[in-house]
Each structure stands twice: as structure tokens, then as C-alpha cells.
């Protein structure tokens, strides 16, 4: 009985540490690079899609950009998980990604559900993407620097702007996507560097 009680206490301590220590699997360099890719994708959208394009191509294009950025960040986190993290840090990594993964699944399912529909419905996707990412960041805020809440709020406000643009027929503007997701990732990288990584070198 005492052994079981001690094990329960150790498990509780681990859970407490998971909730109080900042997760270090997101690094500013990789997040900033993903943001730059998003801005570059916005600049290159007219090159790849032209001025007039099937709107489903917009979904394909930005889904590909999102997948590339996700892999960039996730693969580095996986590298840290396998080669550098302790057992306690790995437990935190699993916990954080379990919190964030629902927004990925929901975003994927929503895209697959709405993509075959008409233009008016499809034009809502960019705003929905911003809302979903906002929820994902909010769900992981307890494990990130406190300023991350402002990044989540940024995506939330951008979601409203993108929906307003959809009402005016501007939903597929490349810079709506670039400013929302590209610049949003760059802001996230700045927060990670100032409030987490810079302190490691001071």
C-alpha cells in the first residue's frame, strides 16, 4: 500500500511539473522559418496560381504550405524527443502535442468537408483555419511563454478579418493568408526567443 501511495505521489508530481514547466520543443528559428515560408508563399501565389484560378487550387496550395510548415516544426520536435529529451521532458512533449493535435485533425477534416462545396462556402475556409489555429495555441498556452496568449488572440482576430474579407469577395487574397499565418508565426518566434531562449544565454 505504501509503495502504491508513493507511486501515486510521484505520478502527481510529474503531472504538476508537466503543467508548470515551459515546453521547449518549439524553437524560434524553426517557427520563424515557417513564418517566412508563409510570407513567401503569399508573394508567390500569383506566380503559381495566376490572377484568375479555380478556387479549389487555393485550398490545395495553402494546404501544401501548411503541411510543409507543420512538418518543419514537428520533425524538429521529434528529433529533440528521440535524441535529447529526458523521460520527464518526453512526457511533457506527449502531453503538449496531445493538446495541440485536435486542432490539426479538425482543420484537416473541415478542409476535406468544405473543399468540394461552392465558392461561397469555400471562401469561409481561411477564417475557419485561423479560428482553429487560435484554439490550438490557446490549448497549449499553459505550456508556452505567457505572451503566447497574445499570439492566440492575434489568430482569433485575423479569423474575423478573413471572414469579413470573404463577405467582400476577397477571401482568396494571398496577403490575407500571409499576414495571418506567415506573420503570426514570426510573432510566435519572437515570443519564443525573448521569453524563453534569450534567457538561456543571459
pLDDT of residue 188: 96
The burial class, CB within 10 Å (0-12 / 13-18 / 19+), for 172 is buried
pTM of the model: 0.87
Per-residue pLDDT of the chain (202 residues; tens, 9 = 90+): 555 544 444 444 445 444 557 898 899 999 999 999 999 999 999 999 988 888 899 999 999 999 999 999 999 999 999 999 988 889 999 999 999 999 999 999 999 999 888 888 899 999 999 999 999 999 999 999 989 999 999 999 999 999 999 988 888 999 999 999 999 999 999 999 998 887 654 4
Report the distance separating Cα 158 and Cα 181, nearest Å.
9
pLDDT of residue 177: 96
> Kindly report the CA angle at 124 between 121 and 126, in degrees rounded to 5?
140
pLDDT of residue 2: 52
Report the distance separating Cα 42 and Cα 179, nearest Å.
9
Report the distance separating Cα 185 and Cα 178, nearest Å.
10
pLDDT of residue 120: 85
pLDDT of residue 21: 77
pLDDT of residue 13: 47
Amino acid at each position: 500500500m505504501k509503495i502504491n501511495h508513493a507511486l501515486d505521489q510521484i505520478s502527481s508530481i510529474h503531472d504538476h511539473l508537466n503543467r508548470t514547466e515551459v515546453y521547449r520543443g518549439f524553437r524560434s528559428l524553426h517557427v520563424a522559418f515557417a513564418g517566412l515560408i508563409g510570407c513567401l508563399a503569399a508573394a508567390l501565389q500569383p506566380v503559381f496560381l495566376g490572377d484568375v484560378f479555380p478556387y479549389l487550387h487555393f485550398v490545395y496550395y495553402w494546404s501544401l504550405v501548411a503541411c510543409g510548415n507543420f512538418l518543419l516544426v514537428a520533425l524538429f520536435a521529434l528529433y529533440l524527443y528521440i535524441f535529447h529529451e529526458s523521460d520527464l521532458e518526453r512526457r511533457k512533449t506527449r502531453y503538449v502535442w496531445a493538446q495541440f493535435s485536435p486542432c490539426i485533425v479538425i482543420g484537416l477534416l473541415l478542409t476535406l468537408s468544405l473543399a468540394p462545396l461552392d465558392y461561397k462556402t469555400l471562401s469561409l475556409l481561411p477564417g475557419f483555419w485561423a479560428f482553429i489555429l487560435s484554439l490550438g495555441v490557446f490549448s497549449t498556452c499553459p505550456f508556452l511563454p505567457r505572451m503566447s496568449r497574445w499570439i492566440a488572440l492575434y489568430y482569433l482576430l485575423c479569423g474575423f478579418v478573413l471572414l469579413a474579407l470573404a463577405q467582400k469577395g476577397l477571401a482568396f487574397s494571398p496577403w490575407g493568408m500571409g499576414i495571418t499565418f506567415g506573420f503570426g508565426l514570426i510573432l510566435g518566434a519572437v515570443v519564443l526567443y525573448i521569453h524563453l531562449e534569450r534567457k538561456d544565454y543571459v
